[in-house]
Structure formats: C-alpha cells, structure tokens
Structure 1
Amino acid sequence: MTAALFVAGAAQAAPQPGAKAAFPPFDASTFAGQLFWLALTFGLLYWLMSTIALPRVGAILADRASTIARDLDNAAAMQAKAEETAQAYETALTEARKNAQSIAQAARDAGAKASDERRRVVEADLSARLEQAEAQIAATRTAAMTNVRDLGSDVAIAIVTKLTGQAPSATEANAAVDQALARG
C-alpha cells in the first residue's frame, strides 16, 4: 500500500504543462513520501548517534572526568606532601634554633670557664710576684734598717763628739739608736 502511495504521489507531483508547480514541502500530495524519508533519515541518524557518536563522546567525557579527578587527587596529595614538608622544615628549623642556642650557651660557658681559669692563673702569678716583691722589700727594709742603725750610731757618735768633745762608746750609741727606733 505504501508503494502505491509513492507511485500515486509521484504521478501527481509531476507538473502539468502550463500549470504553476507548488513548493514541494508544502505540496499535500508529497506528504507521505516526505514523512517516510523523514522517519527513515531520523531512524538512521538516531541509530548512528546512539551506536557510534554518543558512546565516543561519553567515553571522552568519562575519560576527561577521570583525568580531572586523578589530577585533583594528585594535587591534593602534593599539597598534603608540601604541608608535611613545610611542617618538617619548621620542626627542623626549631630544632636547629634550639641546638644553636645550646651551642652558643656551651661556647659562652667554655669561654667563661677559660677566662676564669686564665684569671686564676694570672692572679696566682701576680700573688706570687707580689709576695716575692714584698719579701724583697722586707729584706731591703731590714738591710736598710740595719744600715740606718749603723749609720745612726755613727751619726750619734759624731754629734755627741762635736757637742761635748768626748766620743761615746759604740755600745752606748747603739743602745740610744735602738731606743729611738723602738719609739718611732
């Protein structure tokens, strides 16, 4: 029956000599053929799209979505790793500061200890020199006092001789000088 419609439609679609032909899409005699080819073309395009084109597009979209998800996961992992590295860096930096402070304190303590030891050595050396100098001064003083006693006796004898004209004995002069030295 459909074939008869096509043949009839084709016979009627042929232009009559001298008649003005209608625009084919609006010609009612060609509607059946147009509907047939529309359904056939739509069905073929639907079948091609559903079996070939849309699965490929779907695969591309799925691949793209998985790539984006994988890249986001990688970025999150790298960010976590970067945060761990930054935390480790901060920890190491804090530890290094503590170590630097302890090293500096140890160096200060060692310097202070060495300085104290050097000061003790210098003080001991100066004390020894001071004692030696004091002993030398005491010895010089004793020698000088002995010389002063002898000199004092000689001067006392000379003065008494000059004043009285008589020279006292050395024992008397030494006793007078000893008495004067004891007082003063």
Structure 2
Amino acid sequence: MPQINQLPDIFISQLFWLAVVFGIIYFWIGRGLVPKIQSVVEDRDKKIADDLAAAQRAREQAEASEEAYRERIDASRSEAMKVAQEAKHQAALDTEKRLKAVDAKIGKKVAEAEGKIRTAADAARRELEPVAAEAASELVSKLTGQKISAKDAETTVKAVLHG
C-alpha cells in the first residue's frame, strides 16, 4: 500500500493542521458559544428563581386568604348558632304562652264540666231519694211486716246518703 509509505512524509503537516483545526474549534466554542450558553442558563436559573419566589408569594397570599375565609366562616357559624338559640328560646316562650292560654281554656272547661257534673249528681240524688225511700219502705214492710211512713223512710235515706 502506497499510502502507508507516505505516512512519515505527511505526518507532521497533518499534526499541524489537526492542532490548528482543534485550536480554531476550541476558541470558537470557548469564546463564542460557551458565554452564550452560560447567559441562557443564567437567565433560565433567574427566571426559575423568580417564578419560585412568585409562587411562594402566591402561596402565602392564598394561605392568608384561606385563614381569613376560615375566620369569616367561624364567625358566621357562631352567629348562626346564636340566632338559632335565640329563635329556639323565642319559640319556647311562644309555646309556653300558648300552653298557658290553652291550659286556662281547658281549666275553665273542666270547671264548667265539674259544675255540670255536680248539678247532675245533685239532681240524680234528689230523684234517687224518693225512690230509695219508697224502696226502703217496701223492703222493711216485706221483711218485718211493719209499715213505715214515707216521711220517716225519707229522713233515714237522707241521713244514710248524706252521711
């Protein structure tokens, strides 16, 4: 192979051009591209840090808003409980008033009914006394054979019935 025979003649020139090309590439990347890449990375890091800070501020605001919301909810609940207790108390008072009024009406009706019952019982006793006196007179006459006057039988029956 003839190319291998030429290797010692061109080896130094190839090494020179290799060093020149690598040097150009090194300076082009090192001086041109690396600063641009670093500035992009730094900008990106700064944007991420700013976004994280903004997110943290938003989170703190959200927590503060949530705390205020919870306080308002707690205040509303306590106010609602207070209103409910007042309404319950008022309803109990109204119910008590109604019960007293109904109780008074019922008491009045009971008193009227008791009066009617007493009147009816007295009327029944008055009607019962002559019948009882007549029955007692007949019983005595059948049992003993003696006749008792209606007046005596009536006084005896009255004494037994009225104590």
Normalised by the shorter chain, which TM-score bucket? Answer: 0.5 to 0.7
**Of 12, 17, 23, which aligns to 1:26?**
12
Residue type of the partner of 1:22? P
CA deviation vs aligned residue, 1:11-47 (integer Å, no higher than 9, x gap): xxxxxxxx967344536xx99xx59x94xx9589748
Query: Which runs of 5 or more structure 2 residues have no equivalent in the other structure?
Result: none
Q: Distance in 2 between matches of 1:180 and 1:114?
A: 52
Residue of structure 2 equivalent to 1:112: 92
Q: 60, 75, 82: which is aligned to 2:62?
A: 82
For 1:23 and 1:123, the matched residues in 2 are separated by 134
Residue in 2 aligned with 1:3? none
State the number of aligned residues.
155
How large is the Cα RMSD of the aligned pairs? 4.3
Distance apart, 1:68 and its partner CA: 0.9
Give me the TM-score of the superposition, normalised by structure 2: 0.61
SS in 2 for 1:130: helix
Letter in 1 for 2:127: N
Give 3-state SS (helix, strand or coil) of 1:22's partner.
helix
**Structure 1 residue 130: deviation in Å?**
1.5
Cα distance in 2 for residues equivalent to 1:120 and 1:85: 52
Deviation of the 1:100 alpha carbon: 4.5
Larger CA Rg, structure 1 vs 2: 1
CA deviation map 1:71-100 (0-9, x unaligned): 111111122123223323433443344345
Of 36, 49, 53 in structure 2, the residue corresponding to residue 73 of structure 1 is: 53
User: Which amino acid counterpart does residue 127 of structure 1 have in structure 2?
Assistant: G
- 2:64 partner amino acid: E
| Residue 7 of structure 1: aligned partner | none
**Does the CA contact (< 8 Å) of 2:137 and 2:149 recur in 1?**
yes
Q: RCO (CA 8 Å, sep 6+): is it higher in 1 or 2?
A: 2
